[in-house]
Amino acid sequence: MKAFHKISLSAVMLSSLMLAACGGQQAAPAPTTPAQEQPAAQAPQELKVNMNSGDPSTIDPGLAEDIPSMTVARAAFDGLLRLDADGTIKESVAEKYEVSPDGLTYTFHLRDTKWSNGDPVTAKDFEYAWKRVLNPETAAGYAYQLYYLKNGEAYNQKKVSADEVGVKATDDKTLVVTLENPAPFFPQLVASVTYLPVNQKVVEGNKEWANSPENYVGNGPFVLKQWEHKSKIIMEKNPQYWDEKRVQLTTLNISMIEDANTELSMFENGDLDWAGSPLGDLPLDALQTLKESGKMQTQATAGTYWYVFNTEKAPFNNKKIRQAFTYAINRQEIVDNVVPFKSSVALGILPTTMAFKPEGYFKDGDAETAKKLLAEGMKELGIDKLPEIELIYNTSEVNQRISTVIQDQWRKTLGVEVKLRNMENKVRKEEMRAGNFQIARSSWIGDFNDPINFFEVFKGGLNDSKWNNPAYLDLLAQSAKEQDVQKRNEILKKADAIVMDEIPAAPIYYYTYAWVKQDTVKDVVIDALGFIDFKYASNAK
């Protein structure tokens, strides 16, 4: 998830990956009932949801990095593969595909589909889109997701030309993809937002193409009809969509209400059909009542809520001080009293579906060790007083309460006063990217169920902590070349130990989604990683 994050995933592949990499743990099944293929709805159907983060930071699929941005992009675009109504990866724009015996070459054969402006969707659209994300001038934060392509990373680092990247449209209906190394999770990536196509003519014809409905051209279930910034987004069923008969909704209405109490009130008044995760939030004080009423649904997800340290700024350029601030947090207090039903204690970066050390790497709320490490760290820095410390977070009730509790814990345990500053989510991301912070609220929700997806947060363009460890990077490089599952796990286990010793980010809790919906709402697909897809949703009243 960088802040929030999401990408589709095959339930079958998820299970096999977890058995191989996670000791056989099972992912939580999607709580929704799969939809069966059926004719288009006979009457208009509108689904009203809320996005409590305000405006998406972007709705350009090649630049999307957070849940709000990816949700809109997924509604407006369609990839070669897509999460089906039953939670499995299925062919979408690709009618079929083959994989070579060595696992290095994927050949996708496209069906006849159209862009929302009537242009045909071709294999060249995918080649262009993928190379656009990798192009260093695009500055896409998710460019690393295409490093699995042969020469993908080399092109992103200006070492080779675009022509040398392992994706080629051999004709309008055939896309041949060559990987750097075998990647069993590659179909999950192909179904992700970052791998969606874009219309080259539209993108190159207007730099602002993704900022207004008039210029926004997609190939997915819905088209963007209205965008009142910081107010609402309205999307309507796309009559040009190849699979439009399975799209039941005629309108997807997304409000942008930041206050959780207002969101729940709107739901109770019938002004929203869905309130809570993954786009919105429920008031913390209402969770117990909603749980007891039986209205609230929950689902554990492969995501970690954490605080990122800026390792280039004092005092968090010192490992022991980062450890001290991390160990001093009492996560059980937060899980029990701040976000009940929505969390579990996190003592490691990796969520439980992929953890190498489920018991964690440190003791929760270890005050004595924290005090000792703080003193040692300050001595190493040659200071007897910490500089003024600030924690930034994006505005929400949950983030505000958590930051206040942790601020108090740090004050009592470490004798440190930490200033809190809240801001819009987009501004927080910009501040983090620019390095204008000391501690920042952030999170990561897995793009696919493999530890490498979490470890790559601490390298390259996503690494807001600016932490750098050559041994860690070498282990990640080794893991990419190791085809033996057990040996690869041993390599990644060493990387996990390094990142949890150095602590560029302090894990706080693992996510559990919580939401309420009207009884008429059916078939909103939420997979085991928490990604949401409205393609199959219905709301017949």
The answer to whether residues 187 and 303 belong to one domain is: no
Residue 150 in domain: yes
Residue 13 in domain: no
Give the residue among 4, 447, 528 at the shortest CA–CA distance from 192. 447
- Please, how many CA atoms are within 13 Å of residue 88, restricted to the half-sphere of its CB? 9
The answer to whether residues 158 and 306 belong to one domain is: no
Q: Which of 162, 196, 230 is the last residue of a domain?
A: 196
Q: What is the pLDDT of residue 483?
A: 80
Residue 246 in domain: no
The answer to whether residues 183 and 332 belong to one domain is: no
Task: For the beta carbon of residue 407, count every other beta carbon within 10 angstroms.
Answer: 17
CB 36 within 8 A of CB 47: no
CB 85 within 8 A of CB 523: yes
In terms of DSSP bridges, do strands 418-423 and 532-533 run parallel, antiparallel, or are they unpaired? Answer: unpaired
* pLDDT digit string, tens, across residues 367-400: 999 999 999 999 999 999 999 999 999 988 899 9
Residue 256 in domain: no
The answer to whether residues 464 and 349 belong to one domain is: yes
* pLDDT digit string, tens, across residues 87-104: 889 999 999 999 999 999
The answer to whether residues 373 and 505 belong to one domain is: yes
List helix spans (H) across 459-538.
470-481, 485-502
Highest averaged pLDDT of the listed ranges 359-373, 447-461, 473-487: 359-373
How far is 238 from 216, CA to CA, in rounded Å? Answer: 13
* pLDDT digit string, tens, across residues 484-510: 889 999 999 999 999 999 999 999 999
The answer to whether residues 187 and 304 belong to one domain is: no
Task: For the beta carbon of residue 109, count every other beta carbon within 10 angstroms.
Answer: 15
CB 131 within 8 A of CB 204: no
The answer to whether residues 332 and 471 belong to one domain is: yes
Residue 402 has pLDDT above 80, yes or no: yes
Q: Which CATH number does the domain housing residue 485 bear?
A: 3.10.105.10
* pLDDT digit string, tens, across residues 308-322: 999 999 999 999 999
The answer to whether residues 351 and 468 belong to one domain is: yes
- Kindly report the pTM of this predicted structure: 0.78
Give residue 375's domain range: 299-512
Residue 305 has pLDDT above 60, yes or no: yes
How far is 70 from 336, CA to CA, in rounded Å? Answer: 31
Q: What is the pLDDT of residue 527?
A: 80
Residue 42 confidence class, pLDDT cut points 50, 70, 90: low
Q: Which of 196, 226, 245 is the last residue of a domain?
A: 196
Q: What is the pLDDT of residue 31?
A: 40
The answer to whether residues 306 and 439 belong to one domain is: yes
* pLDDT digit string, tens, across residues 213-271: 999 999 999 999 999 999 999 999 999 999 999 999 999 999 999 999 999 999 999 99
The answer to whether residues 310 and 190 belong to one domain is: no
Show contacts of 206-211: CB within 8 Å, 24+ apart: 209/60, 210/58, 210/59, 210/60, 210/63
Q: What is the pLDDT of residue 168?
A: 98
How far is 86 from 525, CA to CA, in rounded Å? Answer: 8
Count of structural domains, the chain: 2
Angle in degrees, CA 310, 311, 314, rounded to 5: 90
How far is 317 from 485, CA to CA, in rounded Å? Answer: 35
Residue 274 has pLDDT above 90, yes or no: yes
Residue 21 confidence class, pLDDT cut points 50, 70, 90: very low
Residue 423 in domain: yes
Give the residue among 78, 5, 17 at the shortest CA–CA distance from 443. 5
Burial class (CB in 10 A: 0-12, 13-18, 19+), 91: middle
How far is 309 from 437, CA to CA, in rounded Å? Answer: 8
Residue 202 has pLDDT above 90, yes or no: yes
Residue 362 in domain: yes
Residue 388 in domain: yes
pLDDT above 90 as % of the chain:
81
Residue 457 has pLDDT above 90, yes or no: yes
The answer to whether residues 356 and 490 belong to one domain is: yes
How far is 370 from 394, CA to CA, in rounded Å? Answer: 27
* pLDDT digit string, tens, across residues 128-148: 999 999 999 999 989 999 999
Q: Which CATH number does the domain housing residue 89 bear?
A: 3.90.76.10
Residue 363 in domain: yes
Q: Which of 181, 196, 211 is the last residue of a domain?
A: 196
